[in-house]
Chain A
Amino acid sequence: MNPNKEADFGTPQRHSTRLVTLSIDGHSVTVPAGTSVMHAALASGIDIPKLCATDTLEAFGSCRVCLVEIENRKGYPASCTTPAEEGMKVHTQTAKLGDLRRGVMELYMSDHPADCRDHAGSGTCEMHGVAHDVGLTEVRYESGRTHLAAKVDASNPYFQFDPAKCIVCSRCVRACDDIQGTFALTVEGRAFDSRIVVSADEPFLDSECVSCGACVQACPTDALVEKSVVEMGAPDRVISTTCAYCGVGCGFRAEMKGDELVRMVPEKAAKANHGHSCVKGRFAWTYATHQDRMTKPMIRERITDPWRVVSWDEALQRAATEFRRIQDKYGRGAIGGITSSRCSNEETYLVQKMVRAAFGNNNVDTCARVCHSPTGYGLKTTIGESAGTQDFDSIDRADVIIVMGANPTDAHPVFGSRLKQRVREGMKVIVIDPRAIDLVRVPNVEAAYHLATKPGTNVAILNALAHVVVTEGLAKEAYVRERCEWPAYEAWRTFISDPAQSPEAMEAVTGVPAAQVRGAARLYAQAGNAAIYYGLGVTEHSQGSTAVMGIANLAMVTGNVGRIGVGINPLRGQNNVQGSCDMGSFPHELPGYRHIGDDVVRKQFEDDWKVTLDPEPGLRIPNMFDAAHDGSFRALYCQGEDIAQSDPNTAHVTAALRAMECVVVQDIFLNETAKYAHVFLPGTSFLEKDGTFTNSERRVSRIRKVMEPLCGMADWEVTCALSKALGYPMDYAHPSEIMDEIARLTPTFTGVSYKLIDELGSIQWPCNEAAPEGTPTMHIGEFVRGKGQFIVTEYVPTDEKVTRRYPLLMTTGRILSQYNVGAQTRRTANVAWYAEDLLEIHPHDAEDRGIRDGDAVGVASRAGETVLRARVTERVQPGVVYTTFHFPEAGSNVLTTENSDWATNCPEYKVTAVQVSRAAQPSDWQKQFQRFSDEQVGLAEQATEALAR
């Protein structure tokens, strides 16, 4: 048995108020009713050998190794499938059981490579451990037929399948079915001929397998094993940490061999993911040591100059000197900083502190500006807190959910899998999305309704849903009267009851048949527990904030906030979107979402930071670009964010960067923004630092350093050094001290400390005197703002309209194997699944244009033009095209415009009018991009070569 593995109690834990007491080998054991004999024994420290059982899966009872004897019962029942009963007397070790187990194991071992543990395997094969435990010393059947010559399937870039080592216990099949919900694996044949088959007997890579790793984790032998384990051998120590990809924030065990990371294994004890993972978190971490990593500080005068590798001191002094020079010349507000949701809480906190205290202005923003800033505005306005209301576990009690503008199976895969589990258990799903995401219909999962809206009509559809609730008498007015501001509700009720908001009136706007809207509204309103999960398909619109308020209206009017199983749940795109917002990264807000203009709050920070703060809000990211164009914004510190790729209207962004006199980029790679930089400060990956991330459920989890920073300094240390060079020293010995300061100054974090996180595993804020161990469900009994506020949400059509010249609407999103701008995942083997951004187009629109699947097509918008390859699919509706933004050369954001949310300036990525036509060559922008990019890479290489000389 691998000593690094988490404890495995064989079958899942049961929860019951009824307890039963039984005797196991003479020991009295008390467990919740429904617990298996195996779980009861193992949880009490009494070992029972097992092979087909694992506590992440329901019992299967096939391996016959876990047999026990039970007094007054015939035979030798499998302990995994036998429930513990009151008064039961169980014996796990008898001479007869020993004989039976040895007999079974002898048969298994007769068809199992004797050397799997010593040579080609991980040392983690459970077979040998069990054989040893049952006392098997010899195998007498070595001359019979075996599977030992079966061919290894090494097609998957991350793991291999060796049928010779497979015992057909079905753990992999059940993991794929029950946990991941992909149903890619099956057992084909019977008896000796039975074998594991992938999809239609295909190699793993060509199959529908999504490489989540659940099968590998479940496999008790080395039949399914990570290639890294085969190459490097078994890990010998473990460090718990948190994934750096999406907003699920999965807990992982970084399994190490010496100082090298062998594999990342999802942690069963982690409350966000309960031991499940996706292809990104589980496998796509090798970018951390990719050859493209930049590890030396560099400077240059102009962006056409070669880079010069310099010392940290020289680079930081250059940045500080330039910032001060520019402030002296153009004014205090001429510089600013941007952080990323890929940075930790401590890092983003420090950057906003440095900007406010050392820069002396509030020109600080974070990439949440371009994704979930409308969530902050909308939820703060309606319910009083800029955060989701639930934990992920809440979905176990939901009867109906709305998934709006989110694609969890691709963008939040672990939660997506859980969501599919719940659908298979009977939970109903209403999908609101222009595109037919997987949840609409895949094997074993089908949405009750798919409201296929036209892009840009979210507010209209939300109003139509609410209209049905109110006019059909489905509103929970007793709840509203008790929990919400009644006059505001009455005003909203008058607005929403107007026939102009009805599904029939809105049908022409949304494109959704009224009957479907009425059906969906009734289903949501009449569910016992109904929850809303939403993503960037809600926020990234000119009415993003209005739509968030529309969601809150709908949840409040149906009484679906303030208990488990309901709520308003923004699914955050990146791992620390919630955290970066919490940390005061917006220009108008100090940590804890308190306005910079609030004298009392500002004074608290001034006293602690020993500096006078500017009471005026600063520039938001799009405002910074505009100000760069007009000459009032001249220098930028950009930590971990790649605005040149991720922000809309690339030409506008890059022109703004060119207009600046000093761009300082801190990143692990020479990203697209760094190509416009004058100072490059190398950054660290999540594997190289300590800190915390806060996921979509407000869960603060630890990141723990598993290897030393390749560049020699942690990111927080670099920010401190820059601040010191600017004359404002910030002294901390460890990131835990930064968190202590955050806790001291932020009411919702008062109780948070590294010590408490270590004790509890993770903490959901608010964590303070009222909730010393955190708050899984918010707004119980009362909204954070006191009374919930209904807001009138008039539908205002976007200015981005289709015309004869641009007759299609483009919307953008993500795909499972790639992440955000792709800087990380493009540098992993995930490109095996998705190596370029594609344009999805409906067959009708393709046919009209003579476009076939795979053709190069020109996509033109009012902002620019690029060329992508077409994927002809009915996933998108006629009139709508879709693409992703993972590859810089694709230039998806060359097309998107500066239209933005009215309240927050969050860009309207989801609605761009375009024309699509066949193309024979890259666009002018792409040619120019390639030239510039090659030139910049060359300039960086010159610096490295100069250093080597």
Chain B
Amino acid sequence: MNDKHHRLVSMANQISQFFESRPTEEERVGGVADHIIRFWDPRMRKAILEHLAAGGDGLRDNARRAIERLAAAQQPA
């Protein structure tokens, strides 16, 4: 993992840890995904999606699912 991806994984995991105490799956995963959409510059989102595509090493389970959700939203219907 390069420094850039390491930093973004760390940030995503931190966000995830906050939302993991939410009562529903939707809030746990959706909270992370929404936070990343609302606060991350597109190049940061692109980089974390690239990291996911490369295996997503280091991502907490909840963070991974949130980023998978972001990836799915990018796929054409």
Contact = CB atoms under 8 A, between A and B. Distances in A.
A617 B11 contact: no
The interface size bin for chain B is 20 to 34
Given A333-B43, A796-B17, A898 B7 contact: yes
B35 interface: yes
Contacts of A898: 7
A545 B22 CA distance: 16
Interface in B1-36: 3-4, 7, 10-11, 14-15, 17-18, 20-23, 35
Contacts of B39: 588, 617, 620, 903-904
B54 to A, nearest CB: 16
B15 A623 contact: no
A595 B38 contact: yes
A201 interface: no
B43 A632 contact: yes
Interface in A590-649: 595, 597, 616-620, 623, 626-627, 629-630, 632
A794 B17 contact: yes
Nearest to B41: A619
A223 B27 CA distance: 67
B55 interface: no
B41 A902 contact: no
B76 interface: no
Given A794-B20, A796-B18, A902 B11 contact: yes
B21 A495 contact: yes
Nearest to A488: B23
A617 to B, nearest CB: 6
B67 to A, nearest CB: 15
Question: Helix, strand, loop or mixed for chain A's interface?
Answer: loop
A713 interface: no
A275 interface: no
B44 interface: yes
A363 B7 CA distance: 19
Nearest to B42: A616
Contacts of A902: 11, 14-15, 17-18
Interface in B21-77: 21-23, 35, 37-44
A495 B22 CA distance: 10
A796 to B, nearest CB: 5
A574 interface: no
B3 A629 contact: yes
Nearest to B35: A903
A373 B35 CA distance: 15
Most chain-A Cβ atoms within 10 A of its Cβ — which of B11, B14, B22, B44? B14
A542 B21 contact: no
Contacts of A620: 39, 41
A862 to B, nearest CB: 14
Contacts of A630: 4
A546 interface: yes
Contacts of A619: 41, 44
A617 B43 contact: no
A491 interface: yes
B18 A617 contact: no
Contacts, number: 60
Contacts of B10: 799
A504 to B, nearest CB: 21
B14 A597 contact: no
B22 A792 contact: yes
B21 A794 contact: yes
Contact of A626 (B7, B17, B38): B7
Contacts of B14: 542, 796, 902
Contacts of A900: 11
Contacts of B17: 794, 796, 902
Contacts of A495: 21
Nearest to A595: B38
A629 B41 CA distance: 16
A491 B23 contact: yes
Nearest to B4: A630
A905 interface: yes
Contact of B4 (A542, A617, A626): A626
A843 interface: no
A903 B18 contact: yes
Interface in A361-383: 363
A766 interface: no
B22 A617 contact: no
A458 B77 CA distance: 45
Contacts of B18: 545-546, 794, 796, 902-903
Nearest to A614: B42
Contacts of A904: 39
A905 B11 contact: yes
Contacts of B43: 333, 627, 632
A565 interface: no
Contacts of B20: 794
Contacts of A905: 11
A587 interface: yes
A903 B38 CA distance: 11
Interface string A895-909: 000101011110000
Nearest to B36: A617
A796 B15 CA distance: 11
Contacts of B38: 588, 595, 597, 617
B30 to A, nearest CB: 15
Nearest to A588: B39
A424 B49 CA distance: 58
Interface of B: 3-4, 7, 10-11, 14-15, 17-18, 20-23, 35, 37-44
15 contacts: A587-B41, A588-B38, A588-B39, A617-B38, A626-B4, A630-B4, A792-B21, A794-B18, A794-B20, A799-B10, A900-B11, A902-B11, A902-B17, A903-B15, A903-B35
Given A333-B42, A796-B18, 14 more contacts: A333-B41, A491-B23, A545-B18, A588-B38, A588-B39, A617-B39, A617-B40, A627-B43, A632-B43, A794-B17, A794-B21, A900-B11, A902-B11, A903-B35
Which 6 residue pairs of A and B lie closest in terms of their CB atoms, listed nearest first? A902-B14, A794-B21, A792-B21, A619-B41, A796-B17, A630-B4
